[in-house]
Structure 1
Amino acid sequence: MPKYAKNQGAGFTNAIERVAIVGAGGTVGSHIAKALLETGRHTVTALSRKDSGNRLPEGVLVTSIDYNDEATIVAALKGQQFLIITMAPTAPRDTHSKIVQAAAKAGIPYVMPNGYGGDIDNIKLGEDTMLGPIAKANRDEIESLGMQWITMCCGFWYDYSLAGGDARFGFDFDKRSLTIYDDGNTKNSTSTLSQVGRTVAKVLSLNELPENENDESLTLSTFLNKGVYIKSHVVSQNDMFESVKRVTGTTNAAWTVTYIDSKKRYEDGLAQVKVGNMAGFGKMLYARAFYPGDCYDHSAKVQNALLELPDEILDESTKAGLDLVKELQLRVERMAA
Structure 2
Amino acid sequence: MSNASQNSSSFNNNHVERIAIVGVAGTIGSYMVDALLKSGNFKITAITRSDSTSQVPAGVEVKRIDYDNHDSIVEALQGQQVLIITMGTRAPRDHQTKLIEAAAAAKVPFVIPNEFGGDNADVASREDVIINSAKTQYRDHIEKLGVSSWIGICTGFWYEFSLGLGNYGIDIKNRSVTFYDDGNTRITTSTFPQAGRGVAELLSLKVSPDNEQDTSLCLDNYKNKFAYIGSFVVSQREMLDSVLRVTNTTEQDWKIESRPVQDVFNEGLQKFQNGDFTGLMTVLYTRAFFKDNAGNTSLTRGLDSDKFGLPKEDLDEYTKIAVERCEKGITY
TM normalised by structure 2 equals 0.90
Cα distance between partner residues in 1 of 2:247 and 2:61: 39
Which structure 2 residue ranges, 5 or more long, are not aligned?
none
2:308 — aligned with what? Answer: 307
Query: Are residues 327 and 52 of structure 1, via their aligned partners in 2, closer, same or farther at CA, if it must alter by over 3 Å?
Result: farther
Any unmatched runs of 5+ in structure 1? 332-337
User: Which residue does 1:250 correspond to in 2?
Assistant: 249
Alignment of 1:8-27 (within 5 A): 8=9, 12-27=12-27
Report what 2:134 is aligned to.
134
CA 1:232 to 1:205, structure 2 compared with 1: closer, same or farther past 3 Å?
same
Q: Matched residues in 2 for 1:320 and 1:129: separation?
A: 28
Q: Is the 8 A contact 1:28 1:193 kept in 2?
A: yes
Contact 1:26–1:54, Cα closer than 8 Å, also in 2: no
Q: Counterpart of 1:223 in structure 2: which amino acid? A: Y
Equivalent position amino acid for 2:160 in 1? D
For the residues of structure 1 that align with 2:324 and 2:13, how far apart are their CA atoms?
A: 41
Take 2:178 and 2:47, find their aligned partners in 1: how far apart are those partners? 39
Corresponding residue for residue 162 of structure 2: 161
1:261 Cα deviation from its structure 2 partner: 2.7
Q: What is the CA–CA distance in structure 2 between the aligned matches of 1:220 and 1:295, rounded to whole Å?
A: 25
Structure 1 residue 177: deviation in Å? 2.6
Kindly report structure 1 stretches of 4+ aligned residues shifted beyond 4 Å. Answer: 1-5
Judge which range, 300-309 or 134-143, deviates more: 300-309
Describe the SS at the equivalent of 1:286: helix
Q: Cα distance, 1:269 vs. partner?
A: 1.4
Note the aligned Cα RMSD (angstroms). 2.3
Q: Which moved more, 1:55-64 or 1:35-44?
A: 55-64
Which residue does 1:202 correspond to in 2?
201
Deviation at 1:55, TM superposition (A): 4.0
Distance 1:125 1:8, change over 3 A: closer
Alpha-carbon spacing, 1:38–1:233, altered in 2? closer, same or farther (3 Å): same
Q: CA deviation at 1:4?
A: 7.9
Instruction: Answer yes or no: is 1:172 the counterpart of 2:171.
Output: yes
TM alignment of 1:257-276, pairs within 5 A = 257-276=256-275
**Structure-1 separation of matches of 2:327 and 2:150:** 35
Tell me the TM-score normalised to structure 1 length.
0.89
Task: Give 1:335's aligned residue.
Answer: none
Q: How much does 1:234 deviate?
A: 0.8
Residue of structure 2 in register with 1:82 after alignment: 82
Secondary structure of the corresponding residue to residue 13 of structure 1: coil
Q: What's the CA shift string for 1:171-196, capped at 9, x where partnerless?
A: 33332333322221111111111111
CA distance in 2, matches of 1:105, 1:152: 23
Q: 1:319 aligned to 2:320?
A: yes
